Structure 1
Amino acid sequence: MNVTRFLVVLDADSTLIRNEVIELIADEAGRGAEVAAATEAAMRGEVDFTESLRSRVRALAGVAVTAFDRVVARIEPTPGVRELTAAVHERGGMVGVVSGGFHEVLDAVAPVLGADVWRANRLKASDGALTGEVDGPVVDAAAKAAALAEWAVANGVPLHRTVAIGDGANDLEMIAAAGLGIAFNAKPAVRDAAPIVIGPVDLREVLRLLP
């Protein structure tokens, strides 16, 4: 029987990948700069994440669902991500990704980059276009921490053998809940709170910290 030795959970936008997906989708509506400014404020913890996300998603109303193919084509994996996920698997670990972004993009990106499980928001669509609404509860800071705990329990991994990696204020709860929390490419509030801070935007820096 295969035993999962440890669990590594990464945020998606600006951690697993270099991009903020909501900004790429907003580009399709001609509102990329506006949404980028709002995203920056949310990641710094200056505004409520859930309300900010709903507001930013409203800016996506009318974008054709066919635009997701163009968005996926623009995704830039973070340097070192494939080496990190390969190393986790080689050492008997599991990789999770939990995101305030969207399944419509993450479903295409996460498995290619070596994730075993992932969770994100979903966007409502009607007649082939986005309605500007989130479908279901928002994946916020509490939901990220809950996903880490859920995946750990489901795979028999004690919390002290979990690693959480993120950059934004909505990653703080899972960073605090994990056995090892890492601020990666992070905003000031996250760097101040996390036990470990990695400055270089290269996920190979995490390899030396794996259990």
Structure 2
Amino acid sequence: MSHVLTLIAPPGQISPGMITRIRDALAALGADPSAPDWLAEGEAVDLPFSGLDPDQAAAAARAALQAAPVDTIAQPVEGRRKRLLIADMDSTIVTSETLDELAAYAGLKERVAEITRRSMNGELDFSAALRERVAMLKGLALDALEATWRETHLMPGARALVRTMSANGAHCALASGGFTFFTGRVAELCGFQSHHSNTLIDDGKVLSGTVAEPIFDRDAKLATLTRLAAEKGLSMSATIAVGDGANDLAMIGAAGLGVAYRAKPVVASAARARVDHADLRALLYAQGYRATEILAD
């Protein structure tokens, strides 16, 4: 079979009846689906098929699922396992927006979070919005960074994703519009081999309200993806990128497998692959990893 449709869901959510409905839907469109192959019982299953465009197959599966909490990713079988992962950090690898949480210590969380929301949905220029938010934090004591870090939590499946891909020879990199203070710690906690982000300027005691130039933005994320792929001697088809905000769209669109993870509407509507229900292990199942191959989170 030339293609595979992977169904991924929270544990226990995929039933044999769902699989039957989807296989029937694919067959009705002229596809030739073969027997299901469980990657994790009740949680992830491959449905190999041929004779149908993968985007059509994914759309047919979503229609057959009738709003069930199941993610669908269709792609060619060849080159399915990727050798380079580029991941956004905020609201992707960690559960929060670290700049918004930092702003809470200045009593500005709601104001900053609204700018973040609009920026991540593509309504504002990212670089201008970042400078505006950082300027609002001028004079904030540096211990607020440590306090914010103590309240930062990994997204479920984040460590499993990075550890498993790294153990299988992939390079894993964070590419964040956030700050090196956090990306360095997240990289160490998860096992990312490199991290790329912005740098907050301070005087040793308080934040200056500025960020080092140039801003690490949408274009910089894409440049990091292409540069790392070239350095590793990889084609873009051997890469996977994941993120949730508008500044992730360029790298998501360029990667061999670009995934919108619990993403903002503008990103979810543009990405060819999206994960709305499962945790980050979904990116491993999408690459054909079985539950028995996935390292502990």
* TM-score bin (small chain): over 0.9
Match status 1:164 vs 2:241 = yes
Aligned match of 2:174:
97
Aligned match of 1:16:
93
| Large movers: runs of 4+ above 6 Å | none
Q: How does 1:43-62 map to 2 (within 5 A)?
A: 43-62=120-139
Summarize the Cα distance change of 1:170–1:78 in structure 2 as closer, same or farther, 3 Å threshold.
Answer: same
- Which of 77, 86, 108 aligns to 2:185? It is 108
Query: C-alpha distance in 1, partners of 2:250/2:224?
Result: 11
3-state secondary structure, aligned to 2:227:
helix
Aligned match of 2:232:
155
In the alignment, is the contact (CA less than 8 A) between 1:71 and 1:105 conserved in 2?
no
In the alignment, is the contact (CA less than 8 A) between 1:185 and 1:201 conserved in 2?
no
Aligned match of 2:108:
31
**Which structure has the larger Rg?**
2
Structure 1 position 174, deviation (Å): 0.5
Instruction: Tell me the amino acid that sits aligned with residue 106 of structure 2.
Output: A
In the alignment, is the contact (CA less than 8 A) between 1:29 and 1:62 conserved in 2?
no
Structure 1 position 48, deviation (Å): 0.8
In the alignment, is the contact (CA less than 8 A) between 2:242 and 2:258 conserved in 1?
yes
Structure 1 position 208, deviation (Å): 1.5
Query: C-alpha distance in 2, partners of 1:32/1:201?
Result: 28
- Per the normalisation by structure 2, the TM-score is 0.68
- Which of 245, 262, 267 aligns to 1:190? It is 267
Match status 1:83 vs 2:154 = no
Query: C-alpha distance in 1, partners of 2:278/2:202?
Result: 34
Query: C-alpha distance in 2, partners of 1:201/1:66?
Result: 35
- Which of 138, 142, 156 aligns to 2:215? It is 138
3-state secondary structure, aligned to 2:281:
helix
In the alignment, is the contact (CA less than 8 A) between 2:89 and 2:175 conserved in 1?
yes
Aligned match of 2:74:
none
Match status 1:208 vs 2:285 = yes
Structure 1 position 127, deviation (Å): 4.4
Identity of aligned residues (%): 37
Structure 1 position 201, deviation (Å): 5.3
Aligned match of 2:200:
123
Structure number with greater CO (CA < 8 Å, separation at least 6) is 1
Structure 1 position 210, deviation (Å): 2.4
Q: What is the root-mean-square deviation in Å for CA atoms of aligned residues?
A: 1.2
Instruction: Tell me the amino acid that sits aligned with residue 178 of structure 1.
Output: A
Aligned match of 1:178:
255
Match status 1:67 vs 2:141 = no
- Per the normalisation by structure 1, the TM-score is 0.94
In the alignment, is the contact (CA less than 8 A) between 2:163 and 2:190 conserved in 1?
no
Structure 1 position 112, deviation (Å): 0.9
In the alignment, is the contact (CA less than 8 A) between 2:131 and 2:210 conserved in 1?
yes
Instruction: Tell me the amino acid that sits aligned with residue 85 of structure 2.
Output: V
Per-residue CA distance 1:91-142 (angstroms, 9 max, x = gap): 2111111000000121112111121111000011124110111112111110
Match status 1:7 vs 2:108 = no
In the alignment, structure 2 segments of 5+ residues that lack a partner are 1-81, 289-297
Structure 1 position 150, deviation (Å): 1.1
In the alignment, is the contact (CA less than 8 A) between 1:16 and 1:78 conserved in 2?
yes
Instruction: Tell me the amino acid that sits aligned with residue 276 of structure 2.
Output: G
Query: C-alpha distance in 1, partners of 2:149/2:233?
Result: 33
